[in-house]
Structure 1
């Protein structure tokens, strides 16, 4: 049995060990020697890839020409690199052979032979790698004073009979250290594993030396970098506290909680490198506050809704406890085929985080809108209050109340409505996106809203609007470059006939939000003159292929279908289908989208095509 300090390096690092000879190649013979070579073929794809990645003969063949003596050094270096890769995969008695023009790389006559090769003529290099028998683990042992109840074998990740793969054995070191720290042993040490090879039995014995150190709690928690954000607000937001057992995962979760407040551009946390007398470890949260104010300009164009231009202003920390004030002003409806005049959309929003508890916010909204559409003309003002609750990484919920003064004109008849609504919404998101400007490439999103409403006008009507929407994304390429995006929408109004409801509360289909290729709100029942009536139910589906090209460009192709009906049950009415293609240019503020869609089926007064220009994907 031969004993060795564990020296197996992961394949990815193997090439670095032998890079030194490259630095001296330029000082050798002046004329480069061209060569051809074949990649090592052991029958194991993963091993072959690691061998190829470690080879300087392969890496530098076209990048750095080598004179004869440097070429020999390069080949001899590959010999050692291949041996290291073999051992990293548990093949301790593998064989490596490298020949240049049929001569072994250690052949003393090789330098003179290469010097005699006519200029411009290549030589053949062959690398033959034989794996031999893969060693397995015979014993995995642990030394040191283990904490009571700590089962090291359950954390190390390798056990008797496993292949003696270096990355797995070395990974056990990190796994043990992490397991100890998660249990409060902040200063635990786990040494590089010792390995002893029994060449006769083709096995490896591995031992880990563990020094757990003292078990500690979290000590004093301090902040650095606070300027406008109040410390009591930051401290209340933490999910770890002085006296809690030291736990890196919990500390990281607390750091992410601070990041999620929206008032910090960066948050890092540092633990002291020593234990205090009371067996605690102080923590320091180092924060960088975001700029307090933000201004944004945006615009969009579609042939049905025309040009819209928006400007927003935000204060991210109004009173020092993360309060947000957001103001938005938009001009809408300029030049659209579904509009007949310029309108506006004005909004003011105040958000109070940590309202009556963690993961909960209170929101007040004021909004005013004016729009002149084919379906109706509207001027309305709305006051709303909401409580938003973050239940988990995937689920959020909202409950609130809105009061709206609504002046609506349809088919020459003008009516005023006073509406009181109690919207309740549940939202799901598994896309895993931390940046809202990023495109989703996997997972899904969903929302269900139920809005009981009382409308007082010519008569009093009680009705409930129920809407469900969802989208799901399939990453075909595995890197987000080829994505199939799907979308579905269902809506129904329960209570009151179509014409009992305010026109702006009815359901419509058509446009970028449902079925592209059709004018906004044009799908569904119509008046005799072709203007939309509005419906009591709606449904729509979309399928879109998004193909990214190069780094900043992409294409899209899509098909949408939907229907709207006077029936209060979806899947009634005439199904309308639209299809189109689009181009994407990806920027730091999102994808710039240009889509062209045509109606496959027809509706009264429909357009021949629709164009959509905006920032961000359709869904």
Structure 2
């Protein structure tokens, strides 16, 4: 223990005080604070192991720790104590029991110091003998032996934890003893911050992480020098850090490919030799390479030494997964009726990471439960309710080893919605260039022919377009982002001189942003804004399948799917030539697996080519439940329309269940 008579006590690396302090900082920081228990599902009942029975070949004992008021300290003392941890394995004699107590004297003081109780003391009683000196030790051994095979020897650990010391100051120096310039947030100390080893270790980790982020991959803590001031009940710590050399990224080596061309993997690595080193750069490599569908695992490792140019070699180890994928799913909706979907995919068709996917979907809009069925019939939209779609998508990544991908697709199908019927077939062919892991552009040619029928009549159309799109995504997760921005924008002219009838110009844009309000990302504000516009033709000349509709799980929750917007003859939704909608959510984690999400949605479609607000904005509010899994959150949203159109039948509440966040 520290001497009480000194105002301040330096805890060095040599000698008894230093050994204790370092042990406290390192050992108690790593121990898991979980007391030994008998079978007790989730620890709900607080049951402990039953004490061992007296026996002739060992000195069985029962141990109790007294005097601990800090609920966090007790589990740490239990984990540090040999007497407590090995109580189910009694020693062969009283001498062995004494040795366990003597060993605990050091361990338990370490635990007290690690939790900030630098004036704490520990004493031991075996039976009624208070340990201290040779005579007490011999008496304790005799008392323990007297209990052999008769009863459990009583062992008590008496703790006086004393006052909780606070952390007063943190100084960081380099190996030469000079102050190391760091952001104030890394050394700033809160007024009542406990002087616990976990606090100091966490600061050291943040300091090393900061230096690594500044380009020093080999940064490390050389030593720590805690000084305890007993009079002020405070702890000051000087941390000596070796930043190590500044480094850039060196050569990147891809390993582990078997059937996949390594050039494909390299095309998804956007970091170049000579770029500044940072853990974020390595995380970016892993994230971008993981987007290759043919790969099942990606591990990015750093080299152990710098190359002659000051670069840190990087090794990307990958594992391939089975190329073929087959799946089937079924669904049922009270609005859309039943449906079944199946798909087959090959993720490495010719060895260059090519993916080919074929999707087949069959649906049935149940006429008996379909609210709009009678109105469609009055409008002359005859259908038996069967709809389906067959589609194929092909992607050839990394053309000629570049960052340009070939994207092609084709489809044929019948779409049966509440307010229209559409038969169409078409295809696309385009090139997508990836400037980085966050930015890509795509352009190509698109063709589509079809016929659509709704309350405004029938439109037979032929479209040939030149779609161009741009995407930006700086978020940290596809299904559950906690930070960053997503932006997508596309524009597709369908000019008459290419054979389009009618001639149209279609534009879409959507953006979402995510802001974590705390370091652990337990509370996140998420916002989304969507826009769309069609120009070049009147509303009745545009196929219903191309018009904009709002409402549904990915739009304005609480309203029936694709029913918000202009209303035409027979009180059927007819869609619009423009769209404006948005959402705001607060994603609040209550535990590691459970979260609540209050949300507000708003928007509508407009008959005009740009939003003119002749249509009333529809609002909805609701509350969501999230269950977080390893692959993403399971979403359950309950939404209520706040100002529905009274001329349309809207359910008072809507329930949505899916995987992933709403946006």
**TM-score, scaled relative to structure 2:** 0.68
**Which residue of 2 is the match for residue 491 of structure 1?**
532
SS of the aligned residue for 1:56 comes to helix
1:519 aligns with 2:560: yes
**Which residue of 2 is the match for residue 265 of structure 1?**
296
**Which residue of 1 is the match for residue 5 of structure 2?**
none
**Which residue of 1 is the match for residue 46 of structure 2?**
none
After superposition, residues 205-284 of structure 1 pair within 5 angstroms as 224-234=255-265, 257-268=288-299
SS of the aligned residue for 1:509 comes to coil
Query: Which residue of 450, 458, 465 maps to 1:406?
Result: 450
Q: Which has the higher strand share?
A: 1
**Which stretch of the first structure deviates more once superposed, 488-497 or 339-348?**
488-497
The answer as to whether partners of 1:158 and 1:172 remain within 8 angstroms in 2 is no
Query: Which residue of 483, 486, 490 maps to 1:449?
Result: 490
1:468 aligns with 2:498: no
CA gap 1:589/1:83 in 2 versus in 1, 3 angstroms: closer
Residue deviations 1:523-577 (CA, integer Å, cap 9, x gap): 2222231112222233233445666777767666654333233233323312334
The CA RMSD over aligned residues, in Å, is 5.6
The answer as to whether partners of 1:415 and 1:458 remain within 8 angstroms in 2 is no
Query: Which residue of 467, 472, 485 maps to 1:423?
Result: 467
The answer as to whether partners of 2:513 and 2:527 remain within 8 angstroms in 1 is yes
The 1-side partners of 2:480 and 2:656 are apart by 18
The 2-side partners of 1:224 and 1:74 are apart by 49
Residue deviations 1:398-449 (CA, integer Å, cap 9, x gap): 333311112112348433111123333333434311xx4x433554533333
The 2-side partners of 1:55 and 1:583 are apart by 38
Query: Which residue of 572, 584, 608 maps to 2:614?
Result: 572
1:500 aligns with 2:541: yes
The answer as to whether partners of 2:24 and 2:113 remain within 8 angstroms in 1 is no
CA gap 1:11/1:311 in 2 versus in 1, 3 angstroms: farther
SS of the aligned residue for 2:569 comes to coil
**Which residue of 1 is the match for residue 110 of structure 2?**
80
1:307 aligns with 2:338: yes
The answer as to whether partners of 2:204 and 2:221 remain within 8 angstroms in 1 is no
**Shift, 1:370, TM fit:** 0.7
SS of the aligned residue for 1:522 comes to coil
Residue deviations 1:40-90 (CA, integer Å, cap 9, x gap): 6xxxxxxx97x677433899999987999777865663223334565xxxx
**Shift, 1:29, TM fit:** 5.8
The answer as to whether partners of 1:140 and 1:159 remain within 8 angstroms in 2 is no
The 2-side partners of 1:584 and 1:159 are apart by 34
**Which residue of 1 is the match for residue 429 of structure 2?**
385
**Shift, 1:378, TM fit:** 0.7
SS of the aligned residue for 2:602 comes to strand
**TM-score, scaled relative to structure 1:** 0.72
The 1-side partners of 2:84 and 2:11 are apart by 41
Query: Which residue of 331, 336, 349 maps to 2:362?
Result: 331
The answer as to whether partners of 1:15 and 1:55 remain within 8 angstroms in 2 is no
Query: Which residue of 409, 413, 433 maps to 1:369?
Result: 413
The 2-side partners of 1:18 and 1:542 are apart by 42
**Which residue of 1 is the match for residue 329 of structure 2?**
298
Structure 1 stretches of 5 or more lacking a match? Answer: 41-47, 144-150
The 1-side partners of 2:330 and 2:132 are apart by 72
**Which stretch of the first structure deviates more once superposed, 248-257 or 358-367?**
248-257
